[in-house]
Amino acid sequence: MAKGLYLSAAAHRYDNPTECPQSCGENVHCKAYMDIVERRMIEHGVPVMRGYQDEVGDIAMQHRVAEANEWEAFIYYVAHTNSGGGRYTMTLCWDNEESKAAAAVIGKYRKSITPHKVTVRTDLYEIRKTKMICLYDELFFHDNEEDCAWFHHGGMEIMAEETVQALCELLEVEYVAPVDRSDDLKAENEALRYQLDVLLKQVDQLADEKKALQKQVDALKDKIAVAKKALA
């Protein structure tokens, strides 16, 4: 059986506002990012757990860590975004060689925003209390307007796929790139356009038939009116 992965997206009690082009928050965009990571890892056959998504604050972290420890996940992956106006990505981890090496694998695939830093943190609850490797990602600076806009316009999917590649390596699962369905979608769109054209022509034809029928109805009404007069 493949090694288990526990996912924990940011769940601040009071969501941090971001410099994104639309109304957003750190919790919101980290959850959306983690949705992609979760789906893709499941597609790779990895057992994934992601509990207590509706909870926020300390209680969320406590419940998630306890659940991951009980489940005996192999990796506990956290996704947050940073603040302070910088421009780099960072993976926080426990102070041992195994954790630091795992965090470096994230950096190996993190090409969309560089540089990538590996930083030891032993004070953060999710890193301190998990029994397995904990990789605590700071994806980008959400108060960097340019990077935040990039993330919200296609960058999120790119960064999530980089993470999927790293997690596959760490979990010893063969990575499979997402299927490019652009040609299929183009063909489907062309078929739909053809069907639409056919339907529009049918509508025009029915409209013409309706006009012809209306003329016949009007003519019959005129004849009926003449007959009524003759009978009066």
pLDDT values of the chain reduced to their tens digit, one per residue, 232 residues: 579 999 999 999 999 988 876 678 999 999 999 999 999 999 999 999 999 999 999 999 999 999 999 999 999 999 999 999 889 999 999 999 999 999 999 999 999 999 999 999 999 999 999 999 999 999 999 999 899 999 999 999 999 999 999 999 999 999 999 887 666 667 777 788 788 777 778 877 878 888 888 888 888 888 887 777 788 6
Class of domain 5-170: alpha beta
What type of residue sits at position 36? I
Alpha carbon distance 110, 21 (integer Å)? 24
- Every domain of the chain and the residues it spans: 5-170, 181-232
pTM of the model: 0.78
3-state secondary structure of 25: strand
Alpha carbon distance 125, 85 (integer Å)? 25
User: What six digits make up the tokens of 203?
Assistant: 């509508």
CA-based Rg of the chain, rounded to a whole angstrom? Answer: 29
